[in-house]
Structure 1
Amino acid sequence: MPDIPVQSPGRRVAALLAGLLLALPLSVGLAPSAQAHNTLISSSPEDGATLDAPPEEVVLTFNADVLEGGNGIVVTGPDGADYADGEVVVDGSEASVALAPLTVPGEYTIDYRIVSADGHPLSDTLSFTLDESAVPEPSPSPSEAEEPGEEETPPPASVEEEAATDVRSLAGPFAPVLGVLAAIGGIAVIAIIVIRLRRRPGSGD
């Protein structure tokens, strides 16, 4: 019967350590691929926040870099309008977009889709609320503004007043002469009346 070699305990431990050392590089190489999935770590405005001042932009920060191109951020207001103004700007692990002035209080939703450095897309929906105090009241329109008081137009002069005015304007510098002539005319009329009365029969003459 042939003899079967028996390994000593020391050799077994050495073989186990060798196996562990060979497997270590493989496990280290697989670790980055398992952790490469990109996730959102913060946002501005924060998800669910209530703001007392309208933001000027939306900034999304991820735990890995974001690729240029193929990214989109839509900010929808309570009125259904899209307030994202311009293209998405990528800076390392941040993706941002400028906002048009927010003029409507209420809830805004942020729908985003970005492409991470490993080529995988990532999308989700966030929201924030704009308080009524953050939106100034609109100024009244010109039609609603109080109109300045209008000066009352004097009533038109009567025909007689206009005629008298025209006569006075025509008289001008001849008014004193016309007055004298009117007085002489009045005296002449009185004299004629007196003469006729004296010529009647039975008068005292």
Structure 2
Amino acid sequence: MKTSPLAALVAILAALLVLGAAGPALAHDALKSSTPAKGAEVEALDEVKLEFSATVRMPFVIVRGPGDTPRQAGDPQVDGKVVTQAVKGPLPDGKYTIAYRVVSSDGHPIEGEIPFTVKGAKTASPSPEPSGNASATPEPSGTGEASPSAAPTGASAPAGQASLEADQASATQDAGFPVWLIIVVGGLIGIGIGFLLSARRRKP
């Protein structure tokens, strides 16, 4: 049985249409982009974003840092084609890897790894601690009471007064010293004159 050229052409076109329609159905969903991108170098990172070619579900994301330390925070969130994973920050300098696994719209699992590097991360400076001298400084009081610093001035008044009284007593003693000395000397002279007169009278 001979086949006309027209029938052969129609068969070929039909086969091409079937293969063309089956091609997209056989293709699985895939990762379109990521933030950070593969091999990227960043200074800081708060979250990871993964965008797929179609809607995905059941996301699982791990962010590993130096020493295989996990850096993800909480569970990943999925919004249609985009999966977002929060990161514990700030991240120190070093090499990191994003490991992900999702289920595509046709039920096929999609997984992979995305390496990136953190360089030039800013470290938080320590807050200055309050000085102990500031806490020890007494605050001025509005009650009008004398401050403790005025105590030495009041305490020095009795000492000054005692010194003044001692000086006055010493001056009084100095002023009275010649008086009693004159009296004693005068008494001794009187006694001596009396002895002389008595001796003269006793002579024959």
TM-score band w.r.t. shorter chain: 0.5 to 0.7
Partner Cα separation in structure 2 for residue 193 and residue 182 of structure 1: 17
> Residue 147 of structure 1: CA displacement?
7.6
- RMSD across aligned C-alpha pairs, in angstroms? 3.9
Partner Cα separation in structure 1 for residue 128 and residue 99 of structure 2: 35
Contact 2:45 2:91 in 1 (8 A): no
Structure 1 partner of 2:115: 127
The question of 1:44 aligning with 2:35 is answered yes
Deviations 1:59-107 (A, max 9, x none): 112222212xx21112223365433233322222221122232241122
Contact 1:79 1:104 in 2 (8 A): no
Question: Alpha carbons of 1:166 and 1:49: their partners in 2 closer, same or farther (altered >3 Å)?
Answer: closer
Question: Alpha carbons of 1:98 and 1:181: their partners in 2 closer, same or farther (altered >3 Å)?
Answer: same
Structure 2 partner of 1:90: 78
Equivalent residues in 2 for 1:66-145, closer than 5 Å: 66-67=56-57, 70-78=58-66, 80-132=68-120, 134-136=121-123, 138-139=125-126, 142=129
Partner Cα separation in structure 1 for residue 155 and residue 90 of structure 2: 67
Name stretches of at least 5 consecutive residues in structure 1 with no aligned partner. Answer: 1-5, 152-164
> Residue 108 of structure 1: CA displacement?
1.9
Structure 2 partner of 1:169: 158
Per the normalisation by structure 1, the TM-score is 0.64
3-state SS of the aligned residue for 1:186?
helix
Name stretches of at least 5 consecutive residues in structure 2 with no aligned partner. Answer: 137-153, 194-204
Per the normalisation by structure 2, the TM-score is 0.64
Contact 2:56 2:103 in 1 (8 A): yes
What amino acid sits opposite 2:51 in the alignment? T
Partner Cα separation in structure 2 for residue 80 and residue 146 of structure 1: 41
Deviations 1:1-52 (A, max 9, x none): xxxxx64xxx4324424543554554344323321x122222111111112x
Structure 1 partner of 2:46: 56
Contact 1:198 1:204 in 2 (8 A): no
Q: Percent identity?
A: 26
Bigger radius of gyration among the two? 2
Structure 1 or 2: more helix by fraction: 2
